[in-house]
Amino acid sequence: MRNYSTKQIFTVFAATLCILVLALAGTVAAKSVYLSADHHTGQFDAWSIEADGTVTKQATYNLQHSTDPAGITIDMITTRTNPVTGKPTPLMFISSEFSGGVEVVDPITLTYLGVSTGPSDLAGIDVDDEDDILYALLRGGRTLYIFTYNSDGTGITEQTSIALPNLNYGYGLALDDTRDVLWVSDTGSSMVRAYDVAVSNWNDIDEIPNLSFQVSHPPIDIAVDKNRNIVYTVAGWAGSNLITKYDVAMDTETTVNIGHGGMGVAVDEITGYVYI
């Protein structure tokens, strides 16, 4: 579970494929956005988030395994420590369109830590960082792959794969680990579907119909603000210039036309900015 808090503010950054806001434990200013600006290059970019919420590019990094990075997520609760500072070091997980498995990277030192088994063409990806569980979705299908790993980043292992009930064309996912709800963008149905992952048997993962909802475009990427129970989607790949904001408790959707197609979305829940 990530320690974030959020205000409801929209800020447009840039059209990207996959991004993630990282706030390092024990710091205030050490925040970065990681994104794959061109996912066919085997690279990703790191941008520093300044105190006013604007961003400054730090560098572009070459990946060792993922030729076409598609999804990025970070585990903040690990047993890894920085040998210089002694502070906890997070883990980055990256899915790829054409490279099999999930690549593991240290997002601070940019050190390659390994790769899991598993298929290529994985898209949406997220972690339960308290329980060291990683979820990855096969692009354009129904199959959810579930991995476990050691808290130091070693031993990432595919546990199983299941077909998510009622899913038509899955693409992105976002885990609300405070409520054990996995939000999945169903592009083919213009819906976001909610799945209960608080199960003892992975085959028992099922849709929560009263939480699933229709959106105003075929959603591609998805992010959840756990503190305020709000789900955001973008759909640039599907030709939409909208960002949608869905208040789960109120069962209401609002949209903003950002003037271009957003390919990725992430929420900095400390400041409340949404990066696209």
Question: Per-residue pLDDT tens for 195-212?
Answer: 999 999 999 999 999 999
Coil, helix or strand at residue 93? strand
Task: Report the alpha-carbon distance of residue 30 to residue 160 in Å, rounded.
Answer: 36
When pLDDT is cut at 50, 70 and 90, the band that residue 97 belongs to is confident
When pLDDT is cut at 50, 70 and 90, the band that residue 108 belongs to is confident
DSSP 8-state symbol, 259:
S
Residue that the structure tokens 């909610």 belong to: 194
- Per the model's pLDDT, the better-predicted residue between 100 and 206 turns out to be 206
The residue among 117, 109, 103, 135 whose CA lies nearest residue 36 is: 103
Determine the pLDDT at residue 95: 87
Token code pair at residue 208:
């929560």
